[in-house]
Amino acid sequence: MMPGRPVHATTILGVRHRGHVAMGGDGQVSMGNTIVKAEAKKVRKLHHDKVVVGFAGTAADAFTLFARFEAKLEEYRGNLPRAAVELAKDWRTDRVLRRLEALLAIADSDHSLIVSGTGEVIEPDDGLIGIGSGGPFALAAARALCGHSDLDAKAIVVEAMRIAAGICVFTNEHVTIEAL
């Protein structure tokens, strides 16, 4: 079960494997059952390229959250867990922010986190994050690939996202990947 309200129509996958981190997001933007954009960039680097963030939710919400999270990273000098907790607190209590329906997948060299608007900050035990409607499919594929292949983190993201795109109708194969 994903934290907070379910977020549909995207796939974000974060993989921490063998000392490396990669995060990928599909490019599909849908309105209802219609694809309106195929190559959106839902993953980006922040804080001097030391943090990678992916979003599942609406584009306007994502831009708002990216800006707020980047400000928290600056305020707490790159301390990812502290910045994530402070963002989650603001997100939960601020009248405007709490209306945002999104999830963030966040990773740096030491931590992988899921942050939601209900105040949750979750660090998965295995360093793998899957959010959005295709997240569970990509996550399952990544878990299998981590345990049964010699692929690196970025290659696992590529292959797992390809698998998710073959299952989830709200996920396509135009993938943006950022690695640390």
Could you list the active site residues? Answer: 10
**What torsion do the CA atoms of 176, 82, 101, 104 make, to the nearest 10 degrees?**
20
Please state whether 157 falls in left (phi above 0), alpha (psi between -120 and 50) or beta: alpha
CA neighbor of 127 nearest in space, from 13, 33, 46, 45: 13
SS3 13: strand
Q: HSE on the CB side for 108, CA within 13 Å? A: 16
Q: What's CA 42's distance to the chain center, in Å? A: 8
